[in-house]
Chain A
Amino acid sequence: MKPIVKIEKLKKLYRIGGLNPAYLTLREAVGGALMRPFRGRGNNTAGTSPNEFWALSGVSFDVYPGELVGIIGRNGAGKSTLLKIMSRVTKPTRGRAALYGRVGSLLEVGTGFHPDLTGRENVFLNGAILGMRKAEISRKFDEIVAFSEVEKFIDTPVKWYSSGMNVKLAFSVAAHLEPEILIMDEVLAVGDAAFQQKCLDKMNDIRQQGRTIFFVSHNMPAITRLCKRAILLEKGKIISDGPSQAVVNDYMTASWNASAEKVWEDRSEAPGSDVVRLKAVRIIDTEGQTTGAVDIRQPVGIEIEYEVIEQGHPLLPSIEVFSEEGLNLFSAHDTEAEWRRRPRPAGGYKSVAWVPGNLLAEGNLLVNVSIMSHVPVTRLHVNERSAVAFQVIDTQGEDSARGDYIGPMPGLLRPLLRWTTSDDTKRDLH
């Protein structure tokens, strides 16, 4: 199969002073032109002067028809610049992008909505701006309005709309674009949960029709759920490109400096006291393999490897689990009978805390690890924050609490409950 999008060595240089270079005034331009002969020939390939920066510095990848590619990275990594170039809003400084199909891009919901125009007028205007033909908009008009849920107000100027209504109408127009390549920047961050679900369903439809979607988001669960492939950008370069779960793990490693495993090779640098020292912390699956991505249905183990230097202390290893937003989900202490309240001989130990499957909600989680002793007084020997990180993955249609729903599910926990439904219709008949 041939790629539908071919990005080659794409680079984009911006001058500092924000992304908008200071506006030139005529005087500066005229002065600059007069001075140019005395300055020597400008060289804009090699090196970067201090007031320039490469928003993209050599990005290449191919995308095949029907792929849904998630683009992730921290703010300023170059995601938006990449999408802007692919949407033809701005030109690259170097390199080339070849697109083998009609492109629809949605860098912002509601681009071109005019507050004084009615919903109806804006649907046509916005549709035309996004590249739809008038006949096409007329044909889909009823569908667009029905999808947006603002039928009643379609002849009201949009300045009287709530921001939610505005966004719904705007997304509806864009959702009915039928390009072969769809480019979307963080558009799912809008609307209420029910509407987000509709948007995700629509995206799924679009993909199933064999069209290609580029999707920028900071919502990692959405990325792993929707996209098979993800691309991680950092400082204008691709640092990871592959299956979305692996790439999201890399993102976690890069942004939290925490991965699925942390090992302290050098004893002197390992966190700890004169009593006990950490050797390693890792996330393991039921087979004992280190893993950064865990199926929501499977138990996950947090393995703490440590060395007791000074014998005779009863030790209490413990963990704390945090969501990506920094919410403390729970903490737990080692309550295993064998070593409880028992002074430990010196030597190496390995404690594993098993978190049951179907408990945590999907998302990225960070784990703090500590080791305490309580005799004679409480003493904290080890307290390693964000020692390891992992992500919980919930795939639609599997045997989890998600069921057949693909939208965002709120909540920090996602237990699989036993449901019973009795069929009352038959009883009513008698």
Chain B
Amino acid sequence: MTFNTSEIPSAQRKSASKTLDSASADVEEILLPLEDKPRILIESLEAGVRLELGELWIYRELLYFLTLRDIKVRYKQTLMGAAWVIIQPLGTMLILTLFFNKLAGLQSGTIPYPLFAYSGLLLWTFFSNAVVNSTNSLVSNTNLITKVYFPRMFIPIAAVGAGLVDLAIASIVLIGLAIYYQVSFGWKILALPIFISLAVGLAIAVGMLISALTVKYRDLKHALPFIIQAWMFASPVIYPPGIVPEKWRWLLNLNPLSGIIEGFRSALIGRAFDWPAIGAAAAITSALLLCSVYVFRRTEDTFADLI
């Protein structure tokens, strides 16, 4: 036996401080330090949260297979398959153009309204579907969660990832519209992937957070449609940010989706970037993502017992 004796007092101290009022019960629960480092160490929840991001890398192929599953399942046994991905935003765009642009006279500045609306709807549809799908993903994968171990984070992430295929297909119409309205593409178009990445990051952050909370609090499922609807009106999807009074503009920019959608449009038509809005969006998205990963890791160990 060659365990590190210096660690024993700290282990005792740790467990003793946990339950001062039950010292006798505590004695039998003292665990000596392990002689060798095990490959897998399973401890109680009190041992703390480990982010173990390296583990995600080991399981990376599973993310691929889960995403692939979500994509394949979505279009099996549908008559028109992927066509729905185009019909949905295209139809919405036509309705919005008719009512807001033609009838109500809403203007979108330098960018033709149909292109404006479609580009906004493209990101918005991706984002809202991703959040809704990832929110429901954990509960609908109960059989996996209660029977086998793998990083649970991959379930909501795969749900977001599967939406990227829809985004790619719907983008074809966007390119068509841009050509139709004779947009001259500039170097700024290279920034499009950055905004798409931010949208993906934000969808993962929000989806993961809500999905983790849904396992415990089922009310969120009912609140979600309302949250999504409110969020759409808080984002410049169907109206340009210009219609919001200057002094309230900062409030709009607190919503990271404004910076992302507007930045996306700027990159598309070669308009000047609104750096403060984009910076705010990137900062808020990153912070939200970190917070969401932490909350998810903290709660995932209880999923199997709660779900």
| Chain A, 117-158, CB within 8 A of any chain B CB | 117, 121, 124-125, 128-131, 133-134, 157
Which of A14, A26, A46, A101 touches B219 (beta carbons < 8 Å)? A26
The CA of A94 and the CA of B25, in the complex, are separated in Å by 12
- Contact (Cβ within 8 A) A91 B22: no
* Stretch from B31-39, B83-91, B93-101, B111-119 contacting the other chain: B31-39
CB-nearest residue of chain B to A108: B147
Q: A84-B304, A86-B42, A116-B76 are in contact. Are A130 and B148 (CB under 8 A)?
A: yes
Task: Decide yes or no whether B7 CB sits under 8 A from chain A.
Answer: no
* Stretch from A2-10, A200-208, A211-219, A296-304 contacting the other chain: A2-10
- Contact (Cβ within 8 A) B34 A26: no
The CA of A96 and the CA of B147, in the complex, are separated in Å by 20
The CA of A84 and the CA of B66, in the complex, are separated in Å by 22
Which of A6, A58, A111 touches B38 (beta carbons < 8 Å)? A6
Distance in angstroms from A399 CB to nearest chain B CB is 42
- Contact (Cβ within 8 A) B143 A20: no
**Beyond A21-B306, A89-B147, A97-B42, 8 extra complex contacts between A and B, CB < 8 Å:** A95-B29, A96-B44, A98-B41, A99-B40, A100-B39, A108-B147, A111-B143, A117-B72
Task: Decide yes or no whether A24 CB sits under 8 A from chain B.
Answer: yes
- Contact (Cβ within 8 A) B305 A19: yes
| Chain B, 265-307, CB within 8 A of any chain A CB | 301-302, 304-307
The CA of A21 and the CA of B302, in the complex, are separated in Å by 11
Which of A2, A45, A86 touches B26 (beta carbons < 8 Å)? A45
- Contact (Cβ within 8 A) B43 A92: yes
Distance in angstroms from B106 CB to nearest chain A CB is 37
CB-nearest residue of chain A to B217: A26
- Interface size (B, Cβ < 8 Å)? 51
Distance in angstroms from B48 CB to nearest chain A CB is 11
Complex interface: chain A residues within 8 A of B219 (CB): 25-27
The CA of A131 and the CA of B218, in the complex, are separated in Å by 30
Complex interface: chain A residues within 8 A of B28 (CB): 9, 58
- Contact (Cβ within 8 A) B44 A95: yes
Residue numbers of B with Cβ under 8 A of A are 18-19, 21-22, 25-26, 28-29, 31, 34-36, 38-45, 59, 61-62, 64-66, 68-69, 72-73, 76-77, 143-150, 216-220, 301-302, 304-307
- Contact (Cβ within 8 A) A20 B305: yes
- Interface size (A, Cβ < 8 Å)? 57
- Contact (Cβ within 8 A) A105 B42: no
- Contact (Cβ within 8 A) B217 A29: yes
Complex interface: chain A residues within 8 A of B146 (CB): 84, 89
Q: A99-B42, A107-B148 are in contact. Are A46 and B25 (CB under 8 A)?
A: yes
Which of A8, A95, A105, A114 touches B148 (beta carbons < 8 Å)? A105
Task: Decide yes or no whether A103 CB sits under 8 A from chain B.
Answer: yes
Task: Decide yes or no whether A328 CB sits under 8 A from chain B.
Answer: no
Q: A2-B36, A89-B304 are in contact. Are A117 and B31 (CB under 8 A)?
A: no
Task: Decide yes or no whether A420 CB sits under 8 A from chain B.
Answer: no
- Contact (Cβ within 8 A) A91 B44: yes
Complex interface: chain B residues within 8 A of A108 (CB): 143, 147
- Contact (Cβ within 8 A) B217 A91: no
Complex interface: chain B residues within 8 A of A19 (CB): 305
- Contact (Cβ within 8 A) B144 A129: yes
- What are 25 A-B contacts defined by CB distance under 8 Å? A6-B34, A19-B305, A20-B306, A24-B217, A29-B217, A45-B29, A58-B28, A89-B145, A89-B148, A90-B304, A91-B44, A92-B43, A95-B44, A96-B42, A96-B44, A99-B38, A99-B42, A105-B149, A107-B148, A111-B144, A121-B69, A125-B66, A128-B62, A129-B65, A129-B148
CB-nearest residue of chain B to A124: B65
Complex interface: chain B residues within 8 A of A98 (CB): 34, 38, 40-42
Task: Decide yes or no whether A23 CB sits under 8 A from chain B.
Answer: yes
Task: Decide yes or no whether A39 CB sits under 8 A from chain B.
Answer: no
Which of A85, A90, A121, A134 touches B72 (beta carbons < 8 Å)? A121
Distance in angstroms from A54 CB to nearest chain B CB is 13
Digitize A155-170: 1 where CB-to-B-CB distance is under 8 Å, 0 elsewhere: 0010000000000000
- Contact (Cβ within 8 A) B305 A90: yes
Q: A14-B305, A91-B45 are in contact. Are A103 and B148 (CB under 8 A)?
A: no
Complex interface: chain B residues within 8 A of A24 (CB): 216-217
The CA of A129 and the CA of B62, in the complex, are separated in Å by 6
The CA of A119 and the CA of B43, in the complex, are separated in Å by 37
Complex interface: chain A residues within 8 A of B62 (CB): 128-129
